[in-house]
Structure 1
Amino acid sequence: MEEDIKQQIHYKIKIMDRIKISKTDLEVSRINLGGNVFGWTLDEQQSFKILDTFVGAGFNFIDTADTYSWWVNGKGGQSEIIIGNWMKARGNRKDLVIATKVGSETKEHGFDISKKHILKSVDESLQRLQTDYIDLYYTHFDDEKTPVEETLSAYDEIVKAGKVRYIAASNVSPERLIESFEVAEKNNFPKYVALQPHYNLLERTKYETAYAPLVEKFGLTVFPYWSLAAGFLTGKYRSEADLKKSVRGGSVSKYLNEKGLTVLSALDRVSAKHNSTQATVSLAWLLAQPHIGAPIVSATSESQLQTLFAAPKLKLDSEALEILQRASK
């Protein structure tokens, strides 16, 4: 039975357009599936279905973290366990690019990118994922106190040990990011190859002013998180009453203002023109921006996945891009 499932999944796979992450040999699909919902709003069986459909459509890039979903049990690990069980059941590890993270806060500890914590956490992630290596390992959050040399020396050790192929950065300040490259160059430590920032049509300023110049300077590939602004850019939240539609409703209330509604109006206009959806257009806008490799997006249903799958195929014209740029300033 298990072998039949593997064959069915393999048979369905279609090779999609892929890009190479800067300064690596990793080729990834233009959508990065977010694993934060696995073990949170989706149980293991539901998660397997989403993962099967994602990979069956030709996509290969999955993002998770050691602390997903710590808000459920206080420590996390559920998402990695589910992905690990799924990869073992399907026998498809070699066909995937798996990204996970270290350094986030839980109820048990604060932000931590000390060498001791990294060396302990990477082994725990490998065990949960049931794999020998992690393709892309992120500094999830900077604790702002561990010396950069210490963090990078830990990465150097686990890269040389074959546990991690490449490292990347998420919530690291511009100053510490610059310092990381300087220290890596001086000590011949691994350098970050990618950046995972908070970036979407409603959150542009910080990335475009503080990080985009560094992305250009250091040749990073960018994988934005909260690409759909916690679901607001799907267009389903347009009033206070709409916030009750999902468990994530409370996190989008800050967008129910003039700017948020202006962006939704622009998305309505562009999606109608292209016979598409607001979510697909939002992701297509991101994909049209410089250095963007693949937006990170989660999905809890087949219909949501189809919306994501459509984004790399949608090429927005200059008029559509201008409408969205103007509305989201």
Structure 2
Amino acid sequence: MRQNTAFYQDDFDIDKRILQEAAARPGREDRKILWFSRPSGTCCVRERDVFLKDTRQHNTWRFYGEQTRDTVLAYLVELTGKEDGKLKGNLYELDYEQHFRRVIEKSVPADNYTLVYEHGERSIPAGQYFDGNPDPQLGKFERFEAQPNDPETLRDVLMEEQRSREKLRPGDFKAHVTMLHDNRIEREACRVVGKMKLLQEPNGPDKTRFMVELSPYFVRLATEKDADRLFSMLPYQTLTFSKSKDSFGTYALIDKGEDRSKGIRKPRPSVRAQLAAGKEKTAPKKAAAKTRQKEMEV
């Protein structure tokens, strides 16, 4: 979440509550949770509900793949219990684009809802209105659940999902977070270079420079080191980062004579990374580090 969600990070407080409640339930289906991070918030829903057509969970999971270009990081959380008050379980990385398409293809219709109360439950058609008020006989309303028309088909779909996860190789959590961090900076470098290539005429205030605004999501999450690394990956000799007096954004600016056909500069692998890959050789001499120029306004 801290590598991808720039705004509304407090959504994660809701996610934590959902996970705590799910871990306390006895059913295995209740303890398999789909979670995603997007640039403006997070989402936490039961896997079972996502594979039921026309539910809120199903529609939400599909929406960011079908209707936006957001960078979405998706995972399956399999809760196994608690230890010393901390949740325990397994975390599976998902390819969100492939997964939401699989959800579209394999989801099962649901025609009824089960209304769960403090002392029991009752069923109603999915389209029928209910207000969540206490029931005179069943007591306080707790939640509702969509029910599949064909429970066996839903069970088969969920089992197929489980089998596909069991084939995955165990990962390294620290290495995974490092990869997310590196990818975030590289994506921004590619985005800036792509935007620079599309500009037809200098668009800076003085009309002598090209400029592209840095993503507000990137700026919100970036440390000083992240900004320096982005600067080093952009292939421009006259590059500066600057804030504008006319807006709240931060911009990358280059002189109009710059060659804008170049791609990003890939960072050299560290000696440690080379050794880890089995390439035990002397690291090449590093080029002089490029410093980031700063201006007050443009």
In which range does the TM-score fall when normalised by the shorter chain?
A: under 0.3
Higher relative contact order (CA 8 A, sep 6+): 1
With structure 1 as the length reference, what TM-score do the two structures score?
0.23
From the two aligned structures, give the one with the greater strand fraction.
Answer: 2
With structure 2 as the length reference, what TM-score do the two structures score?
0.24
Q: Which has the larger radius of gyration?
A: 2
From the two aligned structures, give the one with the greater helix fraction.
Answer: 1
